[in-house]
Structure 1
Amino acid sequence: MLSKWAYAALAIVLLLSTAIAGSAAYRYREQLITARQQLEDLDTWAPGIIRAYSAKREGISPRVEAKNYSPRGSYLGYKPRPPIDSGRMRFDAEGLPKVKYGEAYHYNPVTMAQFALGAYGGEGGPTPQFLVAVEKLISMQSPDGAFLYDFAFPKYATGEMYEPGWASGMAQGQALSVFARAYEHTKDTRFLIAGNKALEFMMLPVESGGTATTLMDFPPEPSENIFIMEYPQDPPVYTLNGYMFSLLGLLDWADVTGDLSVRMVAEKAMNTLKIVLPYYDLGVTSAYDLSYITVPTLANGNRRSPHALSAYHVVHIELLWALHSLTGEPMLEEFADRWLSYVGSK
């Protein structure tokens, strides 16, 4: 359940956005107009960029298990991951993953959450590694509920760096999906406590160190539309996959806990998704984020092209399927079908 403190934090997000939107012009009014015009002739604007990331050409297909998603079942078709070391990833003595950043290997909250979700979704049910990974995830949680990254990471759109100690809405959301399944599997109230703490931090406004913001800069949208930031920064880049992972976590938590207040927040977040989805549709693939709108100019003065990656396009389809499975929202199925047609399979 969201505490009074968490509701206050959410209220701050909404009040801040209302005040800012009411006192100044929307930051992205002109950029949105330009983007709409240029998307009509994308190949002339950015020749070859989108074709270079063709999921059809690379033979990548979405996992159909996502169509029948359940907060109590397999997570998007994830499977247990064998502890096989590589240059990028190594496994510790408990068989848990560490990822290389710079010259050192670190525990990554999202990697740990996804490892746990894979261990939950095997054909025979949760493997022993599921609860091992869940316990590790709890040990990584700060007292305020945050899952902090202990390494620096680049902000690709601006060239700046996140310093160690930064947080991500995607990590908070995927932790909710883990804790929902852990509680369902064990009925251990520690997982309820951990999940509620993760939720409270996720709903803190970015200005207060959290991961929640709104569409206050996008005319003429009302300021109460909640957006969870995978990469909290200003200007925001509105990363799509991280947002949908966070939304899936909200819906998982609402379903398993039966908390109507969480369901209400999830519905607000779902309304945001319906508003922004068209801006990610590039006609031949989907954009990774909206940096082509919010950070439209490169350091050399050239216009930024949409950031599009075939692997993420497939993830977008899987997430739309899962969210549609939970909500029945027709628009999600419409976009999933459209984006699937870009891959060339049905």
Structure 2
Amino acid sequence: MNVKVIFLLLIGVLVLSCKSEIEEDLKELSSVKVTEYSYQELPYLEQPYIRENYISTTIEYFDQDSVPVQIKNGEMYYNPVFTSLYGIRYVDAFIRSEDSYYLTLAKRIADRLVEESRADNQILLFPYNFEFEYSHEDRFQTPWYSGMAQGRMLTFFVRMYGVTNESKYLEWAHQTFETFKLIKNQDHDWIGYIDNENYYWIEEYPAEKPIHVLNGFIYAIYGLYDYYLLTKDEESLHLLNASVTTIENYIGDFRNPGGISSYDLKNRFLNSDYHDIHVDQLNMLFAITGETYFKEKADLFENDFSGSN
């Protein structure tokens, strides 16, 4: 048997394995707790990530193609959450300024992050290629993956498709969406978790003992929301509903009456900047669902800490 045949057989095994993993996870996902919501398509300037002023092209560190990077210990890294946010904001700048240079920069970011991705047949996973210590108990070795990164990349590809109508961005969005079906088990990388009460979580930091970071989960929800509005896909609606259901059920656990809300449910870190983000995100969930429950919680959180906003 020659080398080419062996290689093709190995690729075939990898593809079948990936499909099998997703199919097994889909069985679990079909039974998670879900409330049905009615999603609103917001005016452009009210959509997630859109700010009053669009971004400039000034960045501190970038590669040879002007793709934003981060520097850690003297080494250059692509951080998918950080870099894709620039991509989203460059798309916004292109829409509002009609300056094609912004779109050129956004295209370079998309291409570079896909080049750096792990592509296994139906899925695109965007790695962190640097070690990260979240807490003394949770240390992430390279490569590791984040539900927040996957969600932000999903928003980025949806918006790139919206301004270019190029099929590759739609395909990349489809492949990124597939990763939300990867549920925690011992056999593959994952970003989704089903708890003992059958609620579906998207983990910003997928750890052995779930961390449940609030802001990262909701940023990931924005990606599912954008993807659903584009595709009207039933699987994406199911996962979007399941995610929002989890937030509705657990948001009270993040609240510290009279104080700053918890960053996560494992360590319960307190950070006033992220408290403000929680308030903004709950207001956004109210905007996209029309559910006054989220507005009431946003107001409670804001009243808890007078330094907010």
Residue 285 (1) aligns with residue 265 (2): no
Give the C-alpha shift of residue 13 in structure 1.
Answer: 5.7
* Counterpart position of 2:282: 320
SS at match of 2:55: coil
* Counterpart position of 1:162: 140
1:270 equivalent among 234, 239, 244: 244
Matches of 1:345 and 1:151 in 2, distance apart?
33
* Counterpart position of 1:80: 55
* Counterpart position of 1:9: 25
Matches of 1:189 and 1:173 in 2, distance apart?
19
- Identify if the C-alpha distance between structure 1 residues 274 and 69 changes in structure 2 by more than 3 Å, giving closer, same or farther: farther
* Counterpart position of 1:234: 208
Q: Give the letter aligned to residue 331 of structure 1.
A: Y
Number of residue equivalences = 271
SS at match of 1:97: coil
* Counterpart position of 1:199: 177
Q: Which runs of 5+ in 1 are unaligned?
A: 19-67, 293-305
* Counterpart position of 1:261: 235
Contact 1:149/1:165, CA 8 A, preserved across alignment? yes
* Counterpart position of 1:94: 65
Matches of 1:277 and 1:69 in 2, distance apart?
26
Q: Give the letter aligned to residue 116 of structure 1.
A: G
Give the C-alpha shift of residue 11 in structure 1.
Answer: 2.1
* Counterpart position of 1:150: 129
Q: Give the letter aligned to residue 227 of structure 2.
A: W
- Identify if the C-alpha distance between structure 1 residues 69 and 280 changes in structure 2 by more than 3 Å, giving closer, same or farther: farther
Contact 2:59/2:68, CA 8 A, preserved across alignment? no
Q: Which runs of 5+ in 2 are unaligned?
A: 1-18, 34-41
SS at match of 2:70: strand
Residue 210 (1) aligns with residue 172 (2): no
CA RMSD of aligned residues (A): 2.7
Matches of 1:336 and 1:344 in 2, distance apart?
14
Taking structure 2 as the reference length, the TM-score comes to: 0.79
SS at match of 1:238: coil
Q: Show CA shifts across 1:154-183 (max 9, x none).
A: 13151x421111110001000110011011
Matches of 1:254 and 1:125 in 2, distance apart?
26
Taking structure 1 as the reference length, the TM-score comes to: 0.71
Q: Give the letter aligned to residue 124 of structure 1.
A: S
Matches of 2:248 and 2:73 in 1, distance apart?
38
State, as a whole percentage, how many aligned pairs show the same letter: 24
Matches of 2:43 and 2:273 in 1, distance apart?
20
Matches of 1:112 and 1:69 in 2, distance apart?
25
Contact 1:147/1:167, CA 8 A, preserved across alignment? yes
Q: Give the letter aligned to residue 291 of structure 2.
A: E
Contact 2:55/2:89, CA 8 A, preserved across alignment? yes
Matches of 1:237 and 1:248 in 2, distance apart?
20
Contact 1:71/1:252, CA 8 A, preserved across alignment? no
Q: Give the letter aligned to residue 131 of structure 2.
A: A
Give the C-alpha shift of residue 98 in structure 1.
Answer: 1.0
The 5 A counterparts of 1:165-180 are 165-180=143-158
Q: Give the letter aligned to residue 27 of structure 2.
A: A
- Identify if the C-alpha distance between structure 1 residues 7 and 251 changes in structure 2 by more than 3 Å, giving closer, same or farther: farther
Q: Show CA shifts across 1:106-133 (max 9, x none).
A: 0111111111111122332572222222
Structure with more relative contact order (C-alpha pairs < 8 Å, separation 6 or more): 1
Matches of 1:310 and 1:105 in 2, distance apart?
30
Q: Give the letter aligned to residue 237 of structure 2.
A: R
Contact 2:21/2:182, CA 8 A, preserved across alignment? no
Contact 2:50/2:89, CA 8 A, preserved across alignment? no
Give the C-alpha shift of residue 103 in structure 1.
Answer: 3.0
- Identify if the C-alpha distance between structure 1 residues 251 and 6 changes in structure 2 by more than 3 Å, giving closer, same or farther: farther
Q: Give the letter aligned to residue 192 of structure 2.
A: A
Residue 332 (1) aligns with residue 305 (2): no
- Identify if the C-alpha distance between structure 1 residues 73 and 183 changes in structure 2 by more than 3 Å, giving closer, same or farther: farther
